[in-house]
Amino acid sequence: MASSESNRVKSEQRVGWRLKGKLILAVVLTVVIFLLLGLYADLSQVRSSLFSFRWSVLPLILGLAMLNYFLRFLKWDSYLKALDVSLTAKESLAIFFAGLAMSVTPAKFGEVLKFLKNSGKWFIG
């Protein structure tokens, strides 16, 4: 019995390391792609665009983005209630933001984190 438990833990650790490796690879590739795009882009035009940007509207942009995330959380919470999933508000918020945390990564890796958090197999450290 202890042997099967030990094998299960080793299997989960292997999966965790594979996920970490894929995550690190995705981050490295993203950085390399942005660096290559930066070298390819017209840096003087990028600089000009940054200087001509109306920075006074940035708080409004960030506020609307936060409102968007809040509305999306309310929708997420209503789905959970419709499915009769009982989570505390803290757990629900943690799972929701786990999905958003990496929503810009390839293959929506944040969804994998959401699954792991929800399934109780949260061994990514």
Question: What are the tens digits of pLDDT across the range 46-65?
Answer: 778 889 999 999 999 999 99
Q: What is the pLDDT of residue 2?
A: 57
Q: Using one digit for the tens of pLDDT, what is the confidence trace for 65-108?
A: 999 989 999 998 899 889 988 888 888 888 888 777 666 666 66
Q: What is the pLDDT of residue 4?
A: 66
Q: For residues 91, 93, 99 and 101, what is the CA-based torsion angle, rounded to 10 degrees?
A: -120
Q: How many CA atoms lie within 13 A of 37 on its CB side?
A: 7
Global confidence as pTM: 0.51
**Taking all residues of the chain, what is their mean pLDDT, rounded to a whole number?**
78
Give the CA radius of gyration of the chain. Answer: 20
Inter-residue contact 109 to 26 (CB < 8 Å): yes
Q: How confident is the model at residue 124 (pLDDT cuts 50, 70, 90)?
A: very low
